Copies of this chain bind each other. A is one copy, B any other.
C-alpha cells in the first residue's frame, strides 16, 4: 500500500470515530517512540507481563519484544487494561533460538542491548548514555536473563538501591527505567519520534482496531 493510499484510508476511517477520539490518537502518536524499546525474556507471571505493557503504553514506548522460550507470555486483562491494543508486540516463540533471533534482529536495527541486572554494575540507570537506540532486556522473575541474553548484551545497568532486598520486581524495574529514560530521550535526542510512515502505519492499525467493520468499510 502506498503512503497516499494509507493516508486516504486513515481519512476514511477517522470519520467513524469521534473528533476528540481521533485528536487523542494523533496526540498519543506524536509522543510515541521507537528509540527506546523493551525486551521481556520468558516472563511467566501474566500480572508482571501485563503491568509492563501498561507502563510501556503510559510512557509512549511503541515496541515491545516478547521472547517465549519456556513460558508462554500471557496478558491479565485486569492489569493490562487494554494497553496491548495500542502497542506493537513482536513475539519470538516459533524458532529454536528465540532469544538469539530477537536480539540479533534488534542489533541489526541498530539497537544497543542493555541488560538490566542487579548483579553487574557497568552503570547506574542515571548514567546510561542515550547516544544510540536502546533496547532494555528484562529476564524471568526468579532467575533473571538467560546466559545467552547476558552474553549478547552490549552493557549492563542497574537501578540504585539502599535496602537489603537485592532487586526490584520485574514490572517495577521496567517502569522505573521507563519513567527515567522516556522523558530524558525526548529532551536529549533529536530523532526520538516515529517517522511519518511509521505513524501512518500505526494510526491505520489503531483505526482498524477501533472502527467496527473497518475491513468492510475499506472494501
Q: Which A residues contact B (CB, under 8 angstroms)?
A: 24, 28, 31, 45, 47, 50-51, 54-55, 57-60, 78-79, 81-83, 86, 141-142, 159-169, 171-172, 175-176, 179-180, 182-183
Contacts and interface: CB of A to CB of B under 8 A. Distances in A.
A55 B171 contact: no
Contact of A172 (B31, B51, B141, B164): B51
A109 B117 CA distance: 38
| 6 pairs of A and B residues whose beta carbons are closest in the complex | A51-B169, A57-B163, A172-B175, A31-B162, A60-B162, A58-B161
A83 B175 contact: no
Nearest to A160: B183
Given A54-B169, A168-B54, A163 B60 contact: yes
**Copies per assembly:** 2
A168 B52 CA distance: 10
| A interface, over-half SS | helix
Contact of A55 (B160, B169, B180): B169
Given A78-B142, A176-B176, A86 B163 contact: yes
Contact of A28 (B51, B54, B163): B163
